[in-house]
Structure 1
Amino acid sequence: MVKLQLNDVNAYGFNLFSFMGVWPLIYAGLMFIDERMQPIPAWPSFLASNGSGVMGMMPYLLLRESRPYFSGKKDGFIKLFDARLTGVALLLRTIGLIIYALYFGNFDEFIKQWQTRRFLYLMSWDFALL
């Protein structure tokens, strides 16, 4: 998948790889709004999560303080992540990936690949933790 040789890759594996790009964006919408009320910045964890998954996000999630409200003015960046259109686009991307996997994927083949390919195994655990 990393080398874009997708002929050998099951649709379930491809979708799992794609979800690891979509779900950090969903978390980013929450983290960047929450960051305004925190003593630590969210962007290093967001960048790290794109390369290492949930492990990059853990420091921010563990060190943040509980703040159930948002106060302050939303800049353009926050407005983009807080926009309904962004949420709908990410939702449609997620639904599209699920439909693609159900239509083109072979779950038995995915299980065999999951048992033999370390990258797919690690990515599955990372997504489960995310």
Structure 2
Amino acid sequence: MSEANTRLRRLIADEVGECCDTDVEERLDDLNELTAGVPDDYESDLGALKTLGNDTRYSIVRLLATADEELCVCEFTPLLDVSESAVSHALSDLTDASLVSRRKDGTWRYYSTTTRAEKLVAALDATRGDDE
């Protein structure tokens, strides 16, 4: 029996007073059913969360969500303490993660949040302070 199963056996025994192989197997079956709730394509979720895990990219998404309108790339640099190159790179990463969309108008590029980014920001706002 693996170390994980040994620990599971001890947990079940602590909870119900005794444990046999059938108890362990039933609990493992229950735990394996939980994997049905994990989407197969979770990599895009991880990519979005990883992309938001940077101060500049997170700030850009927040600014766009607050603005509730398109912003030009040149409008971010005065608001953020980073170079224009860093802003452009962050916007590219956000676009690749499907968190912002871009539109080109002549020489200007305009950015806006995607529905996914808006929902992520709303979810964060809705849960802020819940554990305090």
TM class, shorter-chain normalised?
under 0.3
TM-score (norm 2): 0.28
Where relative contact order (Cα < 8 A, 6+ residues apart) is larger, the structure is 1
TM-score (norm 1): 0.28
Q: Which has the higher helix share?
A: 1
